[in-house]
Structure 1
Amino acid sequence: MNTPEKPTQKSALRRVVAASIIGSTLEWYDFFLYATASALVLGPVFFPNSDPAVGTLLSFATFGVGFAARPIGSVIFGNIGDRYGRRPALVATLVLMGVSTAMIGLVPGYATIGIAAPILLVLLRLAQGMGAGAELAGATIFAAEYAPPHRRGLFGSIATIGTYSGTVLSSAIFALFSMMPEEAFLSWGWRIPFLLSVVVIIVGIYIRMRLEETPEFKEVERTAGTSKRPLADMFRYEWRSVLKVIGIVAGAFTATYAYQTYSLSYMKTELGITGTIGTLSVAVAAFIAMFVVPLMGSLSDRVGRRPILIAGCVISALFAFPFFLLINTGQDALIIAAMIGGIGIGVPTILGVQGVLLSELFSTSNRFTGFSVSRELGSIVFAGATPFVAASLVSAADGQSWPVSLYVIGACLITLITGIVMKEPAPAGAEAAPRETATPQR
Structure 2
Amino acid sequence: MNTLSKASPQSPPGTSADVTGKDAGRVAFAAFVGTALEWYDYFLFGTAAAIVFNRLYFTTLNPTAATMAAFATFGVGFVARPIGALLFGWLGDRIGRRPALLITVVMIGCATGLIGVLPGYSSIGVAAPLLLVTLRLLQGIAVGGEWGGAVTLAVEHAPPGKRGRYAALPQVGSPVGTLLSSGAFSLVLLLPSASFDAWGWRLPFLFAFPLLLIAVYIRRKVEESPLFDELLKQDERAKIPALEVFRSAWGRLLVAMASAMLGVGGFYLLTTFAISYGSETLGVSRTLMVNATLLAAAVEIVVILVVGRLAERLGPGRVTLWGGVLSAVIAFPVFWLIDTKNPWAIVFAVMAGIAVLSVAYAVSGALLTELFPARLRYSGVALAYNLAGALTGFLPFAATALLKVSDGASWPAALLLVVLALLTALGGLLGERMRVSDNVTSG
Q: TM-score, normalised by structure 1?
A: 0.94
Aligned residue among 308, 312, 317 for 1:301 = 312
2:283 & 2:201 partners in 1: Cα distance?
Answer: 20
What displacement does 1:314 show? 1.3
Cα deviation 1:363-386 (Å, max 9, x = unaligned): 10110001001221111112x111
1:260 & 1:355 partners in 2: Cα distance?
Answer: 21
Would the alpha carbon gap of residues 105 and 405 (structure 1) be closer, same or farther in structure 2, given more than 3 Å must change? Answer: same
- Are residue 349 (structure 1) and residue 359 (structure 2) matched? yes
Partner of 2:427: 418
Which of 1 and 2 has higher RCO (CA within 8 Å, sep 6+)? 2
Partner of 2:390: 380
- Are residue 288 (structure 1) and residue 292 (structure 2) matched? no
CA contact (8 A) 1:364 1:437 kept: no
My pick for the range that moved more, 286-295 or 227-236, is 227-236
- 5+ residue gaps, structure 2, are 1-16
What displacement does 1:9 show? 3.0
What displacement does 1:251 show? 2.4
2:441 & 2:358 partners in 1: Cα distance?
Answer: 30
Aligned residue among 181, 186, 190 for 1:179 = 190
Partner of 1:429: none
- Are residue 365 (structure 1) and residue 375 (structure 2) matched? yes
- Are residue 54 (structure 1) and residue 68 (structure 2) matched? no
- Are residue 402 (structure 1) and residue 406 (structure 2) matched? no
- Are residue 113 (structure 1) and residue 118 (structure 2) matched? no
CA contact (8 A) 1:425 1:433 kept: no
What displacement does 1:315 show? 1.5
- What is the 5 A alignment of 1:26-425? 26-343=37-354, 345-382=355-392, 384-425=393-434
Cα deviation 1:231-262 (Å, max 9, x = unaligned): 11111221111111121122222211110110
My pick for the range that moved more, 156-165 or 242-251, is 242-251
My pick for the range that moved more, 87-96 or 370-379, is 370-379
Cα deviation 1:85-120 (Å, max 9, x = unaligned): 111010000011000000011110001100000000
Cα deviation 1:15-63 (Å, max 9, x = unaligned): 2122022111111100001111111111000011211111100000000
Task: Report % sequence identity.
Answer: 37
User: Quick one: which amino acid aligns to residue 345 of structure 2?
Assistant: L
Q: TM-score, normalised by structure 2?
A: 0.93
CA RMSD of aligned residues (A): 1.6
2:237 & 2:210 partners in 1: Cα distance?
Answer: 33
1:355 & 1:14 partners in 2: Cα distance?
Answer: 16
2:286 & 2:438 partners in 1: Cα distance?
Answer: 51
CA contact (8 A) 2:19 2:158 kept: no
User: Quick one: which amino acid aligns to residue 255 of structure 1?
Assistant: G
CA contact (8 A) 2:320 2:363 kept: yes
User: Quick one: which amino acid aligns to residue 379 of structure 1?
Assistant: G
Q: Which runs of 4+ in 1 moved over 6 A?
A: none
CA contact (8 A) 1:101 1:124 kept: yes
Cα deviation 1:383-428 (Å, max 9, x = unaligned): x1110011011122110001111111112112222333444344xx
CA contact (8 A) 2:29 2:169 kept: no
What displacement does 1:219 show? 1.1
The alignment partner of 2:440 has SS state of coil
- Are residue 434 (structure 1) and residue 438 (structure 2) matched? yes
The alignment partner of 1:108 has SS state of coil
User: Quick one: which amino acid aligns to residue 281 of structure 1?
Assistant: A
Cα deviation 1:123-178 (Å, max 9, x = unaligned): 00000100011211111111100001200111111100011111111101111101
1:232 & 1:152 partners in 2: Cα distance?
Answer: 27
What displacement does 1:8 show? 8.5
Aligned residues: 427
User: Quick one: which amino acid aligns to residue 338 of structure 1?
Assistant: A
CA contact (8 A) 1:255 1:342 kept: no
